Structure 1
Amino acid sequence: MFQADAKKPIGGNIIAHMSTTRLGLRKGRGETRICKVHQSPSLPEAEATFAITPGGIDDAPE
């Protein structure tokens, strides 16, 4: 059985059509977060991991 993609852009269709770069954020393990470039005219589709710490945003632990 297939399910529809439950992800919806914040701001609806107006923001989705006005922006040129679309990023998706999701929670990883622990304090790790993952940012994915979904659509961009100048960047390839890719993912980057990072961690939110008391000191700010840091590289994700390996």
Structure 2
Amino acid sequence: MVHDPRHLGPDTMSGAADGHRYVTANQPHHQATCQPGQDLRRKPYALFRIRADAGPVRWR
């Protein structure tokens, strides 16, 4: 879906009624709990908006 060097550790994806998908990339795999006690995340974190031509998924 997306290729971008800032797209490290996509965390959450959401579909919106505007036909876009929104994906956060906050590098959870670089947190201190996943590394030997060091927080290796680098700011800025990112929010990506991707045109998907689709509506949100509605769960019943």
Whether TM-score is above 0.5 comes out as no
Query: Given the two structures, how large is their TM-score scaled by the length of structure 1?
Result: 0.37
Tell me which protein shows more helix as a share of its residues: 1
Tell me which protein shows more strand as a share of its residues: 1
